[in-house]
Structure 1
Amino acid sequence: MAYRDIRIIGDPVLRTVCDPITDIDDSVKSLVEDLLETVNEDGRAGLAANQIGVSLRAFSWHIDGEIGYILNPRIVELSKDEFQDGEEGCLSVPGLWYPTERAWYARAEGIDLDGKKVVVEGEELMGRCIQHECDHLDGHLYLDRLSRKNRAKAMRELRERGL
């Protein structure tokens, strides 16, 4: 296992749609180990593979003391009537937190390292994490979901920081 550096906004890998995992080989097993080790730090809720420079569909999470991963996740259900609009941040956009609307509940399906079906679901923070990390795997950052006003403010702040 290896702790991996986080890619920061401006790195093209963050805007690349990740490829599905077709073979679960040693490189994928190593990727999962790296995702689990890198997300296992205070203040980290989720981590997508492209955030550590790997354009494959996988993410890990560390929420409420539970650490896990999912390969080839796809969101299959979102709450339609309940939303949350709390502050959201991202390891790849350090230091910025902005209100971001998300569904209150999310459910994703994928597989594990044995190729068995995995279901990850949750409300509030877990629901936000699933949506945030799946966005990463589709080449999107949470900044893309901000209101026009907040997005302009965030981009200005990034420019001021030289990011």
Structure 2
Amino acid sequence: MAILKIVQHPSPILTESCKPVTDFGDGLQVLLDDMYETMIDADGIGIAAPQVGEAIRAAIVDLGEGQDPIWLINPEVVATGGKETEVEGCLSFPGLYGEVERPYHVKVHAQDRDGSWYELEAEDYEARAILHEIDHLDGILFDSKIIRVVPEEELEAAEEEEEE
């Protein structure tokens, strides 16, 4: 496995609509493993293929907490519900954080890394992460959805409060 270079904004690949994955062979498996290692190395909770220079519909979300990673291959949003505004960041926008409104609940139809189809329902932070990564696959960047930029100092202060 390898740590890949994370593509930074304003690279044009980040705004491309990605092609569906049709080959679930060794090449995809190596890419997914490398994406996962890259995400962990960068202290992220999600990463999409265009963020490592591949314009295909593949992404990963891993919130840790003893859960298995969510492999999102060719994902389609089936339903959403509710609204919630929370702070987001992005590996392709180091140092940029902002409040983004997203649905609180999402239902997704996607393929696992072996090509088998599944449905997933998620809420809150997990739903937010999944929708953020699917946006990447559609060439939509979180900076276009920011309602208010949140300075890094404000984030650090909020984290310190939570720890107390």
TM-score range, shorter chain: 0.7 to 0.9
Aligned length: 149
What is residue 79 of structure 2 aligned with on the other side?
A: 77
Shift of 1:41: 4.0
Percent pairwise identity:
33
Query: What TM-score, normalized to structure 1?
Result: 0.83
Worse-superposed segment, 138-147 or 46-55: 138-147
Worse-superposed segment, 105-114 or 130-139: 105-114
Q: 1:36, 1:69 within 8 Å by CA — same for their partners in 2?
A: no
Counterpart CA distance in 1 for 2:58 and 2:76 is 10
Q: 2:110, 2:118 within 8 Å by CA — same for their partners in 1?
A: yes
Q: Secondary structure at the match of 2:47?
A: strand
Task: Show CA shifts across 1:23-44 (max 9, x none).
Answer: 2122111111112222224741
Counterpart CA distance in 2 for 1:114 and 1:45 is 21
| 5+ long unaligned stretches in structure 1 | 155-163
Shift of 1:122: 1.4
Q: Secondary structure at the match of 1:134?
A: helix
Q: 1:78, 1:106 within 8 Å by CA — same for their partners in 2?
A: yes
The reply to whether residue 68 of structure 1 matches residue 75 of structure 2 is no
| 5+ long unaligned stretches in structure 2 | 152-164
Moved over 3 A (4+): none
Name the aligned partner's letter for residue 106 of structure 1.
V
Q: 1:15, 1:140 within 8 Å by CA — same for their partners in 2?
A: yes
Counterpart CA distance in 2 for 1:113 and 1:133 is 16
Query: What TM-score, normalized to structure 2?
Result: 0.83
Q: 1:36, 1:68 within 8 Å by CA — same for their partners in 2?
A: no
Q: 2:3, 2:41 within 8 Å by CA — same for their partners in 1?
A: no
What is residue 114 of structure 2 aligned with on the other side?
A: 114
What is residue 159 of structure 2 aligned with on the other side?
A: none
What is residue 57 of structure 2 aligned with on the other side?
A: 57
Distance 1:125 1:41, change over 3 A: farther
Q: 1:87, 1:97 within 8 Å by CA — same for their partners in 2?
A: yes
What is residue 157 of structure 1 aligned with on the other side?
A: none
Task: Show CA shifts across 1:126-159 (max 9, x none).
Answer: 1101110010000010111124xx47x99xxxxx
Tell me the C-alpha RMSD between the 2 structures.
1.9
Q: Secondary structure at the match of 2:95?
A: strand
